[in-house]
Structure 1
Amino acid sequence: MTAAVAPIDHDSRAPRPERRPFAPGSQMWEQTGLITFSLTAGSAFLLQTMEPTIAAVVDEHSTFRTDPAGRAFRSIASVMMWIYGGDEALAEADRLRAMHASLNSVDAHGNKHQALSSGPWAWVLHTAVFAFTEGNKYFSTVKLSEADKEAYYREVVQLMRNFSVAPKEIPATFAEWEPWFRDQVENHLVATNVADDYLRVIQKIAPPKQIPAPLRPLWRTATKPVGRLQYFFTVGTTPEIIREKLGLTWTSSDERTLRALGWVIGRTVPVLPERVRYFPIAYEARRLERDRARLRKIIDLRPM
């Protein structure tokens, strides 16, 4: 997506902004498909589970407790489709809206919650902005300038438009988004049983249903270090005020360890082969675009 994003118009009578898929040339095209995406996906989901409506709907309808690995794989594949799916990216956004249209819930206090309520629906994508900037802080050697953050945020605005997020839920700029996000974290997010369960689940990754029972002890042994790292990265990349709300411990030693691991990751991932550096959908989309560019060059150079 190389064209400029149209300004946000909060007038409800204004025409709905254009939805369009992403293409090479955008930060999302370069960054979202990297395997380091998964290192902050946990903290993004944790922030989502502390939004009251999302928590209520996830509590009743999500499979994160019973099929955590399957849910994670499906979620990552869906996110890859948002960015690398071409025209199918918009179809994926429509599929998710249709799927969530019936995901309603009533909490223990009798409050009704709808998955497609404008604020909660937008919050899911707002956590992506946090995950991107936090991931860059710890797991990248290239630090973002304020201009880079504004450019990325404009791309997120386009993603929100693709998901039909209400304009009223979108701060106009990254500079406006930062204090808005802090206010949401401090004054709107709450400790929930869903957040507690999520933190428990990621530490011990349950085996996928298709793994035979005799092999499940082997799975648990093999994934135990992965669960520890997943929990560590999730807690470490979560805002301090959220750790306080959830009663999570994070020491200065933990922070030094996270930064040391991030230093290694930030210097290792860029030198990995592209096939390893990117998730499969992202890699294939990038390869296809290169093939198309080569074909275009040959066509343009053909004898006339």
Structure 2
Amino acid sequence: MSRRDVPPVPPPPGGVLWSLAGDVRMLLTLPAALTLQVAHPAVGAGVDEHSVFRTDPWGRGERSLRSLQLWVYGGERAAEEGRRLRELHKTIQGTDATGRRYHALTPAYYAWVHATGYPVYAHAQQYIGRPFTDAQHRALYAEWLRVGRILGLHDRDMPQTIEEFWPYYRKVLADEIGTNAVVEELLATDRPVPAPDRGPLPLRLLLRALWPVLFPPLARFRRFVTIGFMPPDAREAIGLEWSDAQERTLRRLGRAVRLLVPLLPDRLRYLPLARRARAEFRCSAARGAGSR
């Protein structure tokens, strides 16, 4: 069997990414990663022209979150999800704001979407978790490469070490990244977003009634965490301002989250797919220990 025929292997149970990706704290970091992705003109154009993020933001968010969880906790379903995503992106093409033709699966563009996860995770961890050791940084990056293979990227399209990653990342920031219509829309606090349409009917009706009151502070909070959990060099490349006062507020938020979330029961601390995978892993480990 050739290497091409071998299915990609998800990140290992019990690894660094395994402990991060399903923790509810990571929900705070996803807007930063998404905004950094679409700050690339080709990715931004693809989202602008082909995504339903304006008409179905909650459905799109739910599907994206489930997909991300499958990459890490899906086991054999991880590779299947990667194939589904590639199939979905085959028809996404057009011309970006620079006049350049793009296709969603062009390795350089598809690799950037994948690459943004690592620096955002690493930056956010300084606030909402314990800063990574050098060994954890290297383990996280190696596990993130596994995610890239699940998405269908080849090793030649991804920096293979942290030492290779940072020059690549800084070059993309310098040469490609900037603001655009999608970035501005994701950061806006004055553009309407429909009320959530998921969950039990009574809850949906209540949210719909309260949405005019709830949405403005939620929009401001979304903008705050989007910019705050974005690495400073990425903020600078996009042209986003961040004050010392905002930094102090973010650190206070991080301390509260860092203290409170570990106290939550698993059913509240971990997202459903992660919770089930973690429980199955514990049971499997217990059976293995019992058979020795």
Shared fold (TM-score, shorter chain, > 0.5): yes
Structure 1: any 5+ residue segments left out of the alignment? 1-13
1:189 to 167, 170, 177: 177
Stretch deviating more after TM superposition (102-111 or 119-128): 102-111
Work out which of the residue numbers 187, 198, 216 in structure 1 matches 2:186.
198
How far, CA to CA, are the matches of 1:144 and 1:283 in structure 2?
Answer: 23
SS in 2 for 1:69: helix
Q: C-alpha separation between the residues in 2 aligned to 1:113 and 1:282?
A: 34
State the alpha-carbon separation in 2 of the partners of residues 201 and 69 from structure 1: 17
Q: How does 1:104-123 map to 2 (within 5 A)?
A: 104-107=93-96, 110-123=99-112
Once the two structures are superposed, residues 69-104 of structure 1 have per-residue CA deviations (whole angstroms, 9 ceiling, x without a partner) of 221121111101111111011111111011111111
Moved more, 41-50 or 142-151: 142-151
Residues 110 and 252 of structure 1, relative CA distance in 2, 3 Å threshold: closer
Tell me the CA shift for residue 203 of structure 1. Answer: 7.5
**Structure 1 residue 174: Cα displacement:** 1.0
Q: Percent identity?
A: 34
Give the aligned partner of residue 163 of structure 1. Answer: 151
Which of 37, 60, 67 matches 2:56?
Answer: 67
Comparing 194-203 with 252-261, which one deviates more in the overlay?
194-203
Pair 137,80 (structure 1): closer, same or farther in 2 beyond 3 Å: same
1:279 aligned partner = 271
Q: Is the 8 A contact 1:139 1:265 kept in 2?
A: yes
Per-residue CA distance 1:13-72 (angstroms, 9 max, x = gap): x94475113342211111110111111111111111111211111111111122222211
Gaps of 5+ in 2: none
Cα distance in 2 for partners of 1:202, 1:124 equals 27
**1:105 counterpart SS class:** strand
Deviates more, 1:198-207 or 1:127-136: 198-207
The structural deviation recorded for 1:227 is: 2.6
Deviation for aligned residue 1:231: 1.2
TM normalised by structure 1 equals: 0.85
Size of the aligned set, in residue pairs, is 286
In structure 2, the CA distance between the partners of 1:162 and 1:243, relative to structure 1 (3 Å rule), is: closer
> How far apart, CA to CA, are the structure 2 residues paired with 1:34 and 1:269?
9
In structure 1, what is the Cα distance between the partners aligned to 2:174 and 2:23? 30
Distance, in Å, in 2 between the alignment partners of 1:204 and 1:153 is 37
Q: Given the superposition, is the C-alpha separation of residues 282 and 220 from structure 1 closer, same or farther in structure 2, using an over 3 Å criterion?
A: farther
Cα distance change of structure 1 residues 28 and 204 upon mapping to structure 2, 3 Å threshold: farther
Q: Which moved more, 1:79-88 or 1:192-201?
A: 192-201
Please list every run of at least 4 consecutive aligned residues from structure 1 whose deviation after the TM superposition is greater than 6 angstroms.
210-214
1:175 aligns with 2:163: yes
- What is the CA distance between 1:271 and its match in structure 2? 1.7
Offset of residue 246 of structure 1: 4.4
* Alpha carbons of structure 1 residues 72 and 157: separation in structure 2 relative to 1, 3 Å: same
Q: CA RMSD of the aligned region, Å?
A: 2.5
